[in-house]
Amino acid sequence: MAANIDHEDVLDVRDLAELAIAQKDIIEDVESDEDDKEDATDTLKALADLLSDLGHDVEASDAQAIADAFWVIVNNSSPTLIADDYFTDSVEEDFNDIYGFPEGLPAHLVVDWKATAEKVKADYSRVELDDKVYFIRK
């Protein structure tokens, strides 16, 4: 079976809170088939494991506690998980959105975004969600 997680370059923690509650509904629905219930259980386990990486101790069977822990994260830090394979692009986009490059820079000026992203990772926690690596701001 597989977790019901759509892995994207950027995941919003608020969406993961809603996902936890949706899995609870699937598990409790008497009309859900056993495969769907198993996938929902796997999803809650993956979400609980991610929260464990972030220092939150929740039971995989307690969807409400999982959702509540995600809301704590939203209230205390950045609500965004950034996929490892997208992190460098995200750093470049954030830099350009916040600072931009001044007009008139020489065309031969090159920024090593990969090296910059590696240095920026010091401000992020590495977590795994369903065997995919993400980063979230500390």
Give rounded-to-5 percent helix, strand, coil for the chain.
Answer: 55, 15, 30
Q: What is the pLDDT of residues 13-46, one digit of tens each?
A: 999 999 999 999 999 999 989 999 999 999 999 9
Judging by DSSP bridges, how do beta strands 80-83 and 124-129 pair with one another? Answer: unpaired
What's the pLDDT score for residue 1? 57
What's the pLDDT score for residue 41? 95
What's the pLDDT score for residue 72? 93
Give the DSSP per-residue string, 29-75.
-TTS-HHHHHHHHHHHHHHHHHHHHTT----TT-HHHHHHHHHHHHH
Asked if pLDDT for residue 3 goes beyond 80, the answer is no
Of the pLDDT bands very low, low, confident and very high (cuts 50, 70, 90), residue 108 is confident
Q: What is the pLDDT of residues 55-93, one digit of tens each?
A: 999 999 999 999 999 999 998 878 899 999 999 999 999
Considering the entire predicted model, what is its pTM? 0.83
Q: In whole angstroms, what is the distance from residue 102 CA to residue 106 CA?
A: 10
Amino acid symbol at 80: T
DSSP label at residue 102:
P
Comparing C-alpha atoms, which of 38, 36, 127, 138 is closest to residue 84?
Answer: 127
Q: In whole angstroms, what is the distance from residue 39 CA to residue 5 CA?
A: 10
